[in-house]
Amino acid sequence: MSFGKLFLQKMSRKSDNNNILDISLAQKVNFDHFQILRAIGKGSFGKVCIVQKRDTEKMYAMKYMNKQQCIERDEVRNVFRELEILQEIEHVFLVNLWYSFQDEEDMFMVVDLLLGGDLRYHLQQNVQFTEETVKLYICEMALALDYLRSQHIIHRDVKPDNILLDEQGHAHLTDFNIATIIRDGERATALAGTKPYMAPEIFHSFLSGGTGYSFEVDWWSLGVMAYELLRGWRPYDIHSNNPVESLVQLFSTVSVQYSSAWSKEMVALLRKLLTVNPEHRFSCLADVQASAYLSGVAWGDVSEKRVEPGFVPNKGRLHCDPTFELEEMILESRPLHKKKKRLAKSKSRDNSKDSSQSILREAIAYVE
């Protein structure tokens, strides 16, 4: 089966929740239904731009990847997995899918547009996150992770880069490119994630085989992220080039240092999220709700976004690297904003070639 037919099958897979993706509508939607406004980033899926749907004038983020590059990078499996997962889920603190389609060159996913930027960007801008701000992020991400668990999904890449803020400052989890689904007591075993945020049991499983890992790994990542937002650096000095063997040893020998400026209740919560043994780690919503630090949280208000965030992104600017737009306009060999003209020329050439071949065949037949 060709790549195109297989991808189309995946996009046409019917969702159990019709509010997430109207398949009958999705099959009719294509690139021409959107106006490209500007490029805003790069991700594991490819590139991201802001678009406006022409009929409704609603704004979205459009993620797209070149199909040939997807094959060359051996990303086909991950793209299909992300698409399958996004078609089945919807939550207030996730970045949700609206449409998916393809053309001759690219695959597209149209998702919620969140204009507040990701937490990595704000860390790089030296934003000083208060304890109250991080407390709300923990609550919002705890609700998101609890929902994902109910759907049997391990995200496996919770980190500041994958937490997007809306214009009011609420947090949303994105990028399911390496997420996985486990059911009925299954355990994951793959070495997947971003090393500084990966839980110890992932490395142990990779080295020794063992029993694998489960939903607890996302809660470890949440603890690492919360620590980093508060302090400006991560609890462990881990980098992508660190050998797995050294990381296993690190977790057994290095103790996390907590700031004396933090409340003892916050420190206690972080200690439970950063517990090396997953059996003793806080790893579900009930665990964090029972903590002294979050015992007074009005969870209904949190889930309805009625709790005001401590940090609200400046609405007068776009919170992303401006070089993304320059790269798309100047360096990209096949820019998205010229796609329609490019495909039209290609189709015209193909039609001309077919016409010439048809005339030649008719001439040969006549001579014969």
Rounded Cα gap, residues 217 and 100, in angstroms: 29
* CA neighbor of 112 nearest in space, from 174, 44, 35: 174
Has 157 been annotated as catalytic? yes
Rounded Cα gap, residues 23 and 14, in angstroms: 6
Q: Which helix (H) or strand (E) holds 268?
A: helix 264-273
Interhelix angle 216-231/264-273, nearest 10 degrees: 140
Check 118, 157, 161, 218 and give the catalytic one.
Answer: 157
* CA neighbor of 257 nearest in space, from 235, 279, 286, 280: 235
How far from 351 is each of 275, 344, 346, 356, 360, CA to CA, in Å?
64, 10, 9, 9, 14
Tell me whether residue 341 is annotated as binding. Answer: no
Residue 137 contacts residue 295 (beta carbons within 8 Å): no
What does 101-134 look like in DSSP terms, one character per residue? EE-SSEEEEEE---TT-BHHHHHHTT----HHHH
From the annotation, which residues make up the binding site for ATP?
63
What amino acid positions are annotated as catalytic residues?
A: 157
